[in-house]
Structures are given as structure tokens and as C-alpha cells.
Amino acid sequence: MKVAKFGGSSVASAEQIKKVAAIVSEDSERKIVVVSAPGKRDSSDTKVTDLLIHLGETHLEAGDTEEALEAVVERYASIAEGLGLGQGIIATIEADLRERLSFDRSRPGSFMDLIKASGEDNNAKLIAAYLQSVGLPARYVNPKDAGLLVSDEPGNAQVLPEAYDHLKKLRNTDEIIVFPGFFGYSKEGTLVTFPRGGSDITGSILAAGVEADLYENFTDVDSVFAANPNVVSEPVKIKKMTYREMRELSYAGFSVFHDEALIPAFRKGIPVCVKNTNNPSSSGTMIIAEREYFLNPVIGIAADEGFSTIYVRKYLMNREVGFGRRLLQIIEDEGLSYEHIPSGIDDTSVILRQCQLTPEIEERIVERIRVELGADDVYIEKDFAMIMIVGEGMHNTVGVSARMTAALARANVNIEMINQGSSEVSLVIGIHEKDTDRAVRELYAEFFGAAVEVVQ
Ligand code: ASP
């Protein structure tokens, strides 16, 4: 049995949904179909989830919601028309949206989740109706009825362990189950969404719950590439990679697969396959537990921007018991999460995502570190990028770092920080954002052969 998840661009229009139906009907093992909300039809389009966020926010600000509501209904109407579904289903979707808008707004996060999740929920109903209309035995299943239980953290749900037992019951299905991605329900019955892009997480949880033989993740590219195709023209396609490699690469900007989505499938040892809805005969990328590493120690190069570092220097820091804990306590008190802490003997830097900082938070942190920790120097620097060189083969290959630093020297890129985790599955380099693309291209050329710059 296979769980097939179709992302936003795969369900963005009637034409795309027809491709989904063809893919589902050609393999009788595709029993569970997880769908996103309609995504972008072209680069200038707006995702339905973003239209819904606008709708929800307008309502919270007590604005006039008619135009925003129309924009959402209009997207579904054009899909339904293209699929020959008639107007009945659109009236139902519109009524559903109006009902959601009338719900309690005292917890704005939960209210927003309810509105956002309608994108997936209504699309699943619409796609189930279409599959039925072309003669496939399809049935919409709601995450509440299926027992997809999650923590009550609006916009940031985590699956609860008991959900897997409930979902297992879906295994005995004769029909094709169409399941909306992106949300579950708390034990109290509140709808809660996963982080953005979270339909991948739903698919992985379902694959683990029903113990599928394969989790297929359909998107709009033939495979995962060794570097960002917007930076390096026609990068190498990755045919096989491990869960850990995918996790590291998706953390650092490989948006093809949500970085939290692998864990459920990985724990149950379910292989994941990234495939293209627009070219389903292409074999895609298989994500598995182990692979052979002899060909190239490096599998991919990722880059992510928007990092800040809090630099702290204090003479004899290495001798001061509890310094690190007290420093991190200050970070924790501000509710911030950090990414790396490279350290010297008298200095350390805490690297975190810049979007978490405000001028007030920065001022408080710097002041507390100076006063409470008695630091000799403390300041915050911005606009760093993290480049990640990933590959399980680096573990037993001599010279990867040497090749990396030589490549960066050739590109005239200054290295601000180097961090290699003890697993040696990735090497992280902090550089200035202005150098990101140049660094990625030169590193790609070093590990994969010539890199051609993408002309936009
Ligand atoms: N529709 C949601 C988003 O745009 C979830 C998803 O597509 O995976 O983030």
C-alpha cells in the first residue's frame, strides 16, 4: 500500500487535478491520497493558503471580508468548472467558509488555523468528488474522524503518539481515501495546523500510521537536486539519499520537502519517494535508511539566509563553570531558539534566525549579557548565510574540508564560522549573505563539476 501526497502546485488547477487522478488510477496500491490547498498556477499567482491568511486577518481586524472571501471561492469555482463538477460543491465551500468566519475569535491563533486549514479541507472534498465522478471509489476522510491527534500549538502542531494507532485503521480500506493535509485536532477537539508546508508532515504521519510500503511525495520537479536550480543551472539529480541527508538539506533551504516531515516515515523505516506530477514516469528521488557512499562523499549543497550572531567575549570564559548555561538561559528567557554555538576559549557566538529578533529584544539581550555575565565584549551581527555541505560519505573521506576551503578561497569568500556536527553528515559554514550564490556555485563546481550560473 502506498500513501501519495500531492503538493500545492499539483492541485492548483483543474488541469493539474486531472493529472492527479491519472496517477492515482494507474496504480491500485495508491490507497491514501493526501492533498494540499491549491497552490500557485504560475509565478505571479497567490496560494489559496495565503488568500485564506489574508481573509482571516481581515476578519480579526474587523475589516470587510467579502472581497477576500470571493477570491478564495473564485479559485475553487474555476477548478470545479474545469473538472465539470457543477456549482453545488462551490455553494458548499462558500457556506463552509462563512461558517468558519463566524467561529470564536477569542484565541486568534486557533481562529487563524481554522481558516487556513479550510484550504486543504475543501480541496480534499472537491478532489474526492472529482475522483468519484471519473469512476474511482474515492472517499473524503476528515482528520478528526481518523484520529489524527496533535498538540494544541496553533500553527505549530506536533503529532501525538496515540494518533498512529488510530490511523492504522485506515489500512483496511477498499476505497481510495482522500485526506486533507496540514492539520489535525487536539484532544479537546480544536483544529490545529502544522507549520507552513505541513501537508508533507500529514503524509508522512499517515504513511507511518498505516505502515505503508512507500510514501510518495508528488511535487513539480523531477527529483531533489544537488543544489538550488535557481542558483546553479541544471544541477545533478539525486537518485538516492538517506533520511539524514534529506533532513539536513531541507533544513538549509531545500524546500522540496518539509524538514519535519521525514521523522514519522523514518521511524517506521518507510521509504519516501519524491516524484513529479507533471512527469510521473521519471523515477524521482528515493529517500531511504542507507545508501552506498563510494561515488561522491557529498550529496548536496544547501544555503539558507537570514541568520544573526550574538558574539560574546570574556577573558577566561573557558574556566568559568556555568557560563554557557547562563548565556543560553538569557536566550531562553526571550523565547528564542538557536541554531549553532561555535566557541573559542575566550569567546563564543550564538547563531540564530534573525526573524526572531526585534530591536527591543536585541537591546535586552546585549544588556543582560554585559551586566549579568560580565562579558568584556558583546554585539550582534546580522545578514549571515549558512552554507551546508551534506553527505553521509564525508564521515570516512579525508580532505572534504580542505576541498571546501580551497573552493571558497577561489571564490574570494570569507568564512566567518565552520561547524561540523559529530555525525559528520554535514559541514556548516557561516558567510556573509552577499557571498551566498558565489559560494554555492564554487562549492558545486568543486564537488560535482562545472557550475553554470543561472541567468534570471
Ligand atoms: N497549504 C499549506 C501551505 O501553503 C500547507 C502545504 O501546502 O503543505 O503552507
Give residue 127 CA to ligand 1 midpoint distance, Å: 16
Q: Which domain holds residue 57?
A: 2-220
Nearest CA to ligand 1 atom 6: 197
Mark whether 26 and 145 lie in a shared domain.
yes
Residue 84 among known ligand-binding residues: no
Place of cell 468519484: 132
pLDDT digits (tens, 9 = 90+) for 110-136: 999 999 999 999 999 999 999 999 999
Mark whether 194 and 318 lie in a shared domain.
no
Mark whether 189 and 305 lie in a shared domain.
no
**Which numbered atom of ligand 1 lies nearest the CA of 7?**
7
Mark whether 197 and 343 lie in a shared domain.
no
Residue 230 lies in a domain: no
Mark whether 200 and 308 lie in a shared domain.
no
Residue 308 lies in a domain: yes
Domain count of the fold of the chain: 2
Residue where one domain finishes, among candidates 179, 197, 220? 220
Mark whether 47 and 173 lie in a shared domain.
yes
pLDDT digits (tens, 9 = 90+) for 206-217: 999 999 999 999
pLDDT digits (tens, 9 = 90+) for 412-445: 999 999 988 777 799 999 999 999 999 999 999 9
Mark whether 201 and 324 lie in a shared domain.
no
Nearest CA to ligand 1 atom 2: 197
Give residue 39 CA to ligand 1 midpoint distance, Å: 8
**Which numbered atom of ligand 1 lies nearest the CA of 182?**
5
Give residue 233 CA to ligand 1 midpoint distance, Å: 27
Mark whether 445 and 336 lie in a shared domain.
yes
Residue 199 lies in a domain: yes
DSSP 354-365: GGG--HHHHHHH
Judged on CB neighbours under 10 Å (0-12, 13-18, 19+), 415 is middle
Answer yes or no: is the C-beta of 119 below 6 A from any ligand 1 atom.
yes
Average the pLDDT over 38-67 and give the result. Answer: 96
Residue 283 lies in a domain: no
Give residue 330 CA to ligand 1 midpoint distance, Å: 33
- CATH no. for residue 381? 3.30.2130.10
pTM: 0.88
Residue where one domain finishes, among candidates 171, 197, 220? 220
pLDDT digits (tens, 9 = 90+) for 327-386: 999 999 999 999 999 999 999 999 999 999 999 999 999 999 999 999 999 999 999 999
Residue 421 lies in a domain: yes
Calpha distance 17→10 (Å, rounded): 7
Mark whether 204 and 308 lie in a shared domain.
no
Residue 260 lies in a domain: no
Read off the C-alpha cell for 63.
475589516
DSSP 368-436: HHHHHS--SEEEEEEEEEEEEEE-GGGGG-TTHHHHHHHHHHHTT----EEEE-TT-SEEEEEEEGGGH
Residue 32 lies in a domain: yes
Mark whether 187 and 56 lie in a shared domain.
yes
| CA distances, 340 to each of 234, 300, 307, 382, 424 (Å) | 31, 20, 10, 15, 15
Calpha distance 125→69 (Å, rounded): 18
Supply φ then ψ for residue 445, to 5 degrees.
Answer: -60, -40
Residue where one domain finishes, among candidates 200, 220, 240? 220
Mark whether 183 and 323 lie in a shared domain.
no
Mark whether 53 and 154 lie in a shared domain.
yes
- CATH no. for residue 56? 3.40.1160.10
b/e per residue 234-248 (b: at least 16 CB within 10 A): ebbebeebbbbbbbb
